[in-house]
Structure 1
Amino acid sequence: MMDAEVNQQQQQPQLLFGGAFSAFLPPGCLDVSELRQVPDNQEVFVHPSTDQSIIIELLEYQAGVPDENAARYHFEDAAGASAEAEVLSQESLAPHLLALEGCSSAWCLTTCQLVAKFNEKAKNKVTVHLVLLRLPQYGTDLLLTFNNPTCIHPLSSSAVRETEIPHPSQPPWTVEHFHTFTHSLRLLDPGIFG
C-alpha cells in the first residue's frame, strides 16, 4: 500500500502557493508550513529522514543583473558574505523545455557549501542545486533550491537526528527528482504576482 501511495504522489502534481503553481515533488515530501511558519514568498519541503530540502521562492526581479549572473547573485544574497561556498558549475537551461510558460531565461547553478545548523560550530558539507527562472513580465525571479547534504559532521545535530529517526523505506532524493520538479513546474494563476 505504501508503494502505491508513493507512486500516486509522484503521478499527482502538488499545488503550490495556494494553487497558483503546480509541480511534481519528490516522494515523501513533508510540507514545512505544517510544522512551522514559512514566509509568504516561499514553499519549503523536507525529506522525512535526511536533511534534504527543496525551497521555492518568489523573489523580486533583478532588472540590473544580467541573466547569466542572476543565479549567482541570488545565491550570494541568500548565502551571505560569510558563507564558505564554491561554485561548481553554471549552465543555462532551454526555457522551451520547461513547463513554465513565459520564462525568459533559466539558469542552473551548483555549489558546495559548509553550513552550520542552528548556529552550531559543527559544519555540514551541502551541495546546493539552484535553478533560477526569470519572469520579468511579472517582476519576479523564481528561485528553486535543492539542498543536498553530502557530509554530516559527527557533532552536528543532524548526525544525532539521522541515528534516531531511521526511515529505510524512504531513500534520499536525487538530482533527478529535483530536475523532474523543475521541469514540471507550471503557473496556474498569474494573479499571484499581484
Structure 2
Amino acid sequence: MPEKLLFGSAISANLPSSILDSSEIRQIPDNQEVFTHQQSDQSIIFEILEYVDKSEQEALQVHFDALASSNGAAEGDSRIIHWEEISRDKLSMAECEHTLYMVGEQKVAKYNETAKNVIEIHLGLFRLPSFETDILVSFNNPVNIDPGSSSYKALPTSADSWMEDDFKEVLASLKILDIGIFGPVS
C-alpha cells in the first residue's frame, strides 16, 4: 500500500490504492480525512479528537457510541463484538501511549431512508494524553444491505474489496510527522 500524507502532511499512513479522497467531492471537517472505496460503500476515516480522560476501554466505548450516534444508529442498534490492545512494537507511531483495536456492528440507514444496513465497524484508537488528543481511525464495512436501501447493489464483490488485514496495515503504518498539528503542548 502506498503512503498517503494526511492533515496537511502532519500525519501519514499507508492506504489501499483503490481509495477516493472524499474531500474532492464534498466538504470534510478539518479534523477528519475521509476515503472511500472506488466500487463499494466501504470507507476509512481518520479523526483527530479531544482526549477522553477515562480508562482505555471506557474511552473506546465513548468514541464508538459517538460514532453510532453520528451514524444515526438507534439505541440497541450498535454493539462492540471484540476489542484488544495493540502492542506498541507493531505500530509506527511512537507518540501514543495506548492503541486499541475494536470490531463492532451498527444498524444504520443511509441518508434519510428507513431501510437499515448492517455495517461492521473496525476502529483503531490511538491515545495521546500528552497532546490531549485521541486519533480515531475507522473502517466501515457494509455486510448486509437492505433491499430497500439506495446502496443495495453496493456490497463489495470484487477481489479489490478492503479486508480486516488491510485496515490493520493502515493502523500499523500511521505516523505523526509534525507534532505541531496538536497545537502547543501544555
1:173 aligns with 2:162: yes
Cα distance in 2 for residues equivalent to 1:167 and 1:114: 21
Deviations 1:60-115 (A, max 9, x none): 0012x111221111111221272411211011111232101111011111111111
Cα distance in 1 for residues equivalent to 2:111 and 2:124: 25
Match of 2:8 in 1: 18
1:129 aligns with 2:119: no
Trace 1:8-87 onto structure 2 (pairs within 5 A).
10=1, 12-63=2-53, 65-80=54-69, 82-83=74-75, 84-87=77-80
How far off its partner does 1:119 sit?
Answer: 1.7
What amino acid sits opposite 1:17 in the alignment?
Answer: F
More helix by share: 1
- 8 A contact 1:45–1:55 mirrored in 2: yes
Which residue of the other structure, out of 139, 146, 150, is the alignment partner of 2:132? Answer: 139
Cα distance in 1 for residues equivalent to 2:9 and 2:84: 30
| SS of alignment partner, residue 83 of structure 2 | strand
Q: Structure 1 length normalisation: TM-score? A: 0.87
1:98 aligns with 2:91: yes
1:112 aligns with 2:112: no
Cα distance in 2 for residues equivalent to 1:140 and 1:95: 17
- 8 A contact 1:97–1:183 mirrored in 2: yes
- 8 A contact 1:57–1:142 mirrored in 2: yes
Say how many residue pairs are matched: 179
How far off its partner does 1:13 sit?
Answer: 0.6
- 8 A contact 2:18–2:160 mirrored in 1: no
| SS of alignment partner, residue 19 of structure 1 | coil
Match of 2:81 in 1: 88
Q: 1:167 to 1:106 in 2, by over 3 A?
A: closer
What amino acid sits opposite 2:64 in the alignment?
Answer: F
Match of 1:148 in 2: 141
Give structure 1 stretches of 5+ with no counterpart: 1-9
What amino acid sits opposite 2:103 in the alignment?
Answer: T
Percent identity between the two aligned chains:
44
**Hey, which bits of structure 1, 4+ residues long, moved more than 6 A?**
none
CA RMSD of aligned residues (A): 1.8
Deviations 1:15-60 (A, max 9, x none): 0001001110022100000010000000000001110000000000
Q: Structure 2 length normalisation: TM-score? A: 0.91
- 8 A contact 1:51–1:148 mirrored in 2: yes
Match of 1:3 in 2: none
What amino acid sits opposite 2:89 in the alignment?
Answer: H
